[in-house]
Each structure stands twice: as C-alpha cells, then as structure tokens.
Amino acid sequence: MKKKLICYIFAGLLSTKVNADPIYLDYQATTPVDSRVLESMLPYFTKEFGNPHSTTHVYGTRSHEAIEQARAQVASIINADPQEIIFTSGATEADNIAILGVSRALKNQGKYEIISVVTEHKAVLEPLKVLEQEGFKVIFLPVQKNGIIDINDLKKALSSKTALVSVMAVNNEIGVLQPIREIAKLAHEHGALFHTDAAQGFGKIPLDVTKDDIDLLSLSGHKIYGPKGVGALFIKRGTPVIPLVYGGGQERKIRPGTVPTPLCVGLGKAAQIAEQERLSESKRLLALRNKLLNTLQKNLTGVLVNGDLEKRLPGNLNLSFTGVDSAPLLANLKGIAISASSACSSDSLELSYVIKAIDHDHSLPPAIIRLSLGRSTTEAEVEKAAEEIIRVVSDLRDKNPTGGGRSCKVEDIEKIKKDLLKNM
C-alpha cells in the first residue's frame, strides 16, 4: 500500500511543471482550445444564454439553432445525417451508451455475445466488464505485435449470437489504426452491429460512417482543440439503444438533460476546423514525426517503435529505449511534457496493458514514452525535444551501463522524488 502510494506521488510529481514551460508533446491526452473555437463559444455563455429547449422565445430558439448547426458540423465530417448525432459529455459517455445501451437492447433477441479488443480504452473495457456481470459473454481479441487485430481471430469469434463488435479506430497509446471497414463488414455479415471508439481518430483520419458502414461512433471535443466535457455519439437510424439515464426528452430521449450550448458550439467549430485542415495538418505532423524519429535513431542505438509505423496516426510516436530504466528516464526528461506507457505498481514496473498486449515475447524494454505532436508543434520544438531525449538517454546509459531492467525500487523512487523536489 505504502509502496503504491509512493508511486502515485511520483506520478504526480512527473506531471508537475518542473521547468517553466516544458514543450507540450501530449496532444493525445488533450489539446488546448483553438482561439477560433473559443471565439465561437463565448456569446453562448452570456448574451445567447437561452435554454435550447425553451423554444417559445428567441433566447431559446437562437440557442437551439446554434446546437443544430453544431450537430450538422459534426455530422458532415463523418458523412452522417445530423439527426443521427447525439451530444454527450465526451467519448467516455458515448462509449458507455453505445456498449451498454445496444447490448442490453439486443439481449432479448438471443444475442448476448460482444466482441472487442484487449487494447481498447478503459471507456470501453469498463462497460464491457459491467456487461459480463450482467451475463453477457465478452470475447477480447488479442492484437498482433504491431498492435493491429488479426482479422482471422475476428472471423473465428463471430457467431449468430454476437450482438455487437466494438473496435477502436485509433489506439490512444500506440496510435495504430484498426481496419474498421473490414471489421464492420464482417460484423454485419454475421448480423452484429459495429461500434467504434473514434476519440483519437475523429478529425484526424478520414472517417465515413456510410462507406465504412459504422452503426455507432464515439467522439470527443478535447482531442480536436475543442472544449473538455463534450463529445458525441453517432447512432445510425434504426439502431436499438436503451438509455442509461432518464429525464426530459432531449437528444432523442437517449441522453436527456439540458444540452450545453457553448460546449456543443465549440465541438462543432472544432470539428469544422479539423476537417478543413486535416490533410495539410496530417502531412505536416507526419513530416515532424519522421524528423523526430530519424533524429533519435540516427543519434541513439536501441530506439524501438511500438506499434505499426505505417498504419498509424501521423502525430503519434511510442518508443522504447533499451539499456535505460524507466523511472530515471521519465524523471530526467524535464523539458518535455509527455506520457509514459509504464507505471510503478507495488515494487515492480508495470508496462501498460496496451504495451503488454504487443509484447508477445516479453522482450520490450520497459523505458517507454508516448510522444504526441499537435497543431502548435513546431520544427524547433521537435529538434529541442530530440536533443533532450538524446542527452538524457546517453547520460543514463553512461552512468548505468547495466540499466534497462524492469525493477522500480522504492529507494529509487524516493531518490528521484527528492531530486525532483530540489529542482522545482
């Protein structure tokens, strides 16, 4: 317990700004609100404050119109009908409605099996656990070493009892893209519905619910330079869903509650900008990511890319470093704000469940970082980040030539914690 606590403190310290302004390379965790998005939202906090459901006066109707415009903006970038979009508090809620709502609606038709993947986000894995407790059978497909499912595994798992297949479009840690069109086609051939958690893909990769034949798609505002606390679920017309909460009739009675106008307006605007800039931004991010990776691999040995490098989100890099320990690597990378794919648990170093799923032969070095580049990332930042990683990894290897084990000793954490506090 005590050891676990120290690990949490340590994790907290890592997320604290040690230097004044570390370079932000954690855009898959969240993004800042784009100034154009903020501007579009502001009137709806003050002058245009009407309840969008009070349509007996202009305050309400103007708010209502703004929400319908946002709905149309979100729908248009995935080629959906606006009436098939319901606003939620984020992708977590959208995933919960899709998974719990659809599975429960189909159970009385003799369909009580769900298929998903071991590397899904917790927003999918946790509701699936709830379904297991309710008597559903959940089949978790493994992934190949590149992080992508083997389509033959899906073929074997599907049956006439499958209610729903839920597979994410883009993985949040390793950035790999699953073949969702192929998965949807197979699911439908077996009479199952298909849901995709597209929180990391919406606005970044082409998604077309008609061409991809998607029944349900979850998305989030704060991954695309929109506000936190808003997202949406695309539900294909005719898809049976039992709501999770009950109240007024808002959002087709599937997600009742007063719809937050400023947040929806922000999501709509963010979606519109993301789509307008998607191609040029993808190209720019890919070039920056390649530069970062090439610089690291040119100057350091033992830099491994986790997950498929081709079928991958342009701005994502997930890297393992041989010959260094994870805790000191993270503690010393003070100039960049990044995520780790491993965490201390008890007195050992736990690789994340996503990394464990691709680490088939238990050979991956535990020093793993996720670098995610975004709209404000510049070439100069990438160069600086690369310099810092090269310096820190080289120093650690020089100081401890036998490093790179999987231990995460309490004494080490205490020492690193003290060093960090000294520098704050």
Ligand X SMILES: Cc1ncc(COP(=O)(O)O)c(C=O)c1O
* Residues engaged in binding ligand X (CB under 6 A): 90-92, 121, 123, 168, 172, 197, 199-200, 220, 231
Q: Are 206 and 313 in contact (CB under 8 A)?
A: no
Q: Which is nearer to ligand X, 30 or 55 (by Cβ)? A: 30
Min separation Cβ 148 and ligand X, Å:
15
Nearer to ligand X, 97 or 303 (CB): 97
Segment holding 351, helix H or strand E = strand 348-351
Output 91 or 216, the one with its CB closest to ligand X: 91
Summary count for the chain: helices (H), strands (E): 13, 15
Q: How far apart are CA 202 and CA 276, in angstroms?
A: 13
Separation CA 120–CA 197 (nearest Å): 8
Dihedrals φ, ψ of 6, to 5°?
-60, -40
What's the min distance (Å) between Cβ of 301 and ligand X? 32
Is 344 known to be catalytic? Answer: yes
Give min distance, CB of 199 to ligand X, in A: 4
The contacts of residue 92 (CB under 8 Å, 6+ apart) are 123, 231
3 state DSSP class of 193: strand
Residue of 7, 264, 344, 408 marked catalytic? 344
Give least dist CB 28 to ligand X, A.
7
Residue nearest to ligand X (CB): 90
DSSP state of 99: I
Helix 410-423 vs helix 2-15: crossing angle, to nearest 10? 30
> What is the residue type of 145?
K
Q: Which is nearer to ligand X, 172 or 342 (CB)?
A: 172
Q: How far is the CB of 89 from ligand X (least distance, A)?
A: 7
- 304, 322 Cβ separation under 8 angstroms: yes
Joined together, the tokens standing for residue 156 give 């074997």
- The nearer residue to ligand X, 32 or 60, going by C-beta atoms, is 32
Q: Known catalytic residues?
A: 344
